[in-house]
Amino acid sequence: MAYALRDVEPAKLHRLWPVASPDVLPTARRKLALAEARVSQVEAELRLAQVSQLEARLSHLESELAEVRTQRDS
């Protein structure tokens, strides 16, 4: 079954790529599809930043724990 572009939500265009490029959508829908793609990208970047911060915090806590264990064993 073939899809008409009007039947496809902009957020799902990637599933039809390269058949349905955002460039062939009407201007308003193209802008919406591009904005949704940018939001997804920003969300992914935020998750990566959070992971990086959590890894740094974990490393710091592991160092503190090792220090406490060393002091306790002395």
Q: Which residues contact 36 (CB under 8 A, 6 or more apart)?
A: 10, 11
The residue among 73 and 19 whose pLDDT is bigger is 73
CA 34 – CA 17 distance, rounded (Å) = 14
Taking the domains of the chain in order of start, what are their residue ranges? 8-73
Instruction: Evaluate if residue 32 carries a pLDDT over 60.
Output: yes
21: region left, alpha or beta (phi > 0 left; psi from -120 to 50 alpha): beta
Mean pLDDT of 57-61: 96
- Provide the 3-class DSSP secondary structure of residue 74: coil
pLDDT band at 29 (very low <50, low <70, confident <90, very high): confident
How confident is the model over 36-53, as pLDDT tens digits? 999 999 999 999 999 999
